[in-house]
């Protein structure tokens, strides 16, 4: 699905999680072997991605009156050179919203997940020629629903992130590793620290 020179929201998610991971994966092309929990996640994603009905039920449970809903839509933005398959877009009272269902559990909204969906929203706006009102992330296993208005501030920040990713991809800049708790279980730590 990737088009020449286009980035996907996965690039954004990896970059926010750790710029060094982004660099190893997407600039150097060093893939991470799938762990058992990742494989489980992929299996769940494949099962889950077939459940259009489940999205309808979820929105009904939230008492959201949906005028129209689309599921598994490929969206792209020529302006920002972004492409991806968005989980769900729906219109409610004429407003356009983007919903991403994570099959995992979480009691908090992770910034990498938030901005992954924010970048989908940029492409959705261009695809449907309408501003996105809200972005929503639902963690299915813990039944946690997080929604944010897609404000100009978030839109502008998302555009900056996209520009930054394009810049790194084009120039191949090496980010400085930033040590954190994430490093302990990271597959790439031998590249960052030689351990
Ligand atoms: S070891 Fe730490 S800094 Fe290096 S890629 Fe992994 S998470 Fe990022």
For residue 37, what pLDDT is reported?
Answer: 73
Cα 134 to averaged position of ligand 1 atoms, centre (Å): 32
For residue 46, what pLDDT is reported?
Answer: 72
Q: How far apart are CA 30 and CA 11, in angstroms?
A: 14
What is the tens place of the pLDDT at every residue in 105-163?
A: 899 999 999 999 999 999 999 999 999 999 999 999 899 999 999 999 999 999 999 99
Cα 41 to averaged position of ligand 1 atoms, centre (Å): 21
For residue 5, what pLDDT is reported?
Answer: 86
User: Which of 166, 184, 193, 186 lies closest to 80, judged by CA?
Assistant: 166
Cα 4 to averaged position of ligand 1 atoms, centre (Å): 27
For residue 7, what pLDDT is reported?
Answer: 92
Q: Are 150 and 132 in contact (CB under 8 A)?
A: yes
For residue 109, what pLDDT is reported?
Answer: 95
Q: What is the CATH number of domain 9-193?
A: 3.90.320.10
C-beta neighbour count of 122 within 10 angstroms: 24
CA of 183, closest atom in ligand 1 = 2
pTM beyond 0.85, yes or no: yes
The residue whose C-alpha atom lies closest to atom 3 belonging to ligand 1 is: 177
Ligand 1 pocket test, candidate residues 178, 181, 186, most atoms within 8 A of CB = 186
3-state secondary structure of 148: strand
What is the tens place of the pLDDT at every residue in 18-32?
A: 999 999 999 999 988
- Kindly give the pairing relationship between strand 132-139 and strand 144-149: antiparallel
DSSP string, 154-173: HHHHHHHHHHHHHHHHHH-P
Q: Tell me 68's DSSP state.
A: E
Encoded tokens for 71: 């599921």
User: Binning pLDDT at 50, 70 and 90, where does residue 2 land?
Assistant: low
What residue spans define the domains of the chain? 9-193
Angle between helices 111-128 and 9-17 (to 10 degrees): 160
Cα 30 to averaged position of ligand 1 atoms, centre (Å): 13
3-state secondary structure of 180: coil
40-54, 75-89, 173-187: segment of lowest average pLDDT: 40-54
pLDDT of 38 strictly over 90: no
Cα 28 to averaged position of ligand 1 atoms, centre (Å): 15
CA of 18, closest atom in ligand 1 = 8
Cα 133 to averaged position of ligand 1 atoms, centre (Å): 34
C-beta neighbour count of 168 within 10 angstroms: 20
Strand partners, 7: 82
Pocket of ligand 1 (CB under 6 A): 18, 20-21, 177-178, 182-183, 186, 188-189, 192
């Amino acid at each position: 699905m990737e088009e020449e020179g286009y980035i996907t929201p996965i690039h954004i998610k990896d970059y926010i999680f750790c710029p060094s991971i982004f660099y190893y994966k997407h600039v150097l092309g060093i893939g991470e072997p799938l762990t058992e929990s990742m494989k489980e996640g992929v299996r769940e994603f494949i099962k889950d991605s077939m459940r259009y009905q489940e999205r309808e039920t979820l929105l009904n449970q939230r008492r959201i009156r949906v005028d129209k809903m689309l599921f598994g839509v490929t969206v792209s933005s020529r302006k920002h050179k972004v492409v991806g398959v968005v989980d769900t877009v729906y219109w409610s009272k004429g407003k356009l919203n983007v919903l991403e269902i994570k099959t995992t559990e979480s009691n908090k909204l992770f910034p990498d997940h938030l901005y992954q969906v924010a970048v989908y929203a940029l492409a959705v706006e261009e695809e449907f020629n309408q501003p996105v009102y809200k972005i929503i992330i639902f963690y299915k296993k813990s039944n946690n629903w997080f929604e944010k208005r897609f404000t100009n501030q978030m839109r502008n920040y998302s555009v900056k992130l996209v520009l930054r990713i394009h810049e790194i991809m084009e120039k191949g800049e090496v980010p400085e590793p930033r040590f954190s708790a994430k490093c302990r279980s990271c597959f790439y730590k031998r590249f960052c620290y030689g351990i």
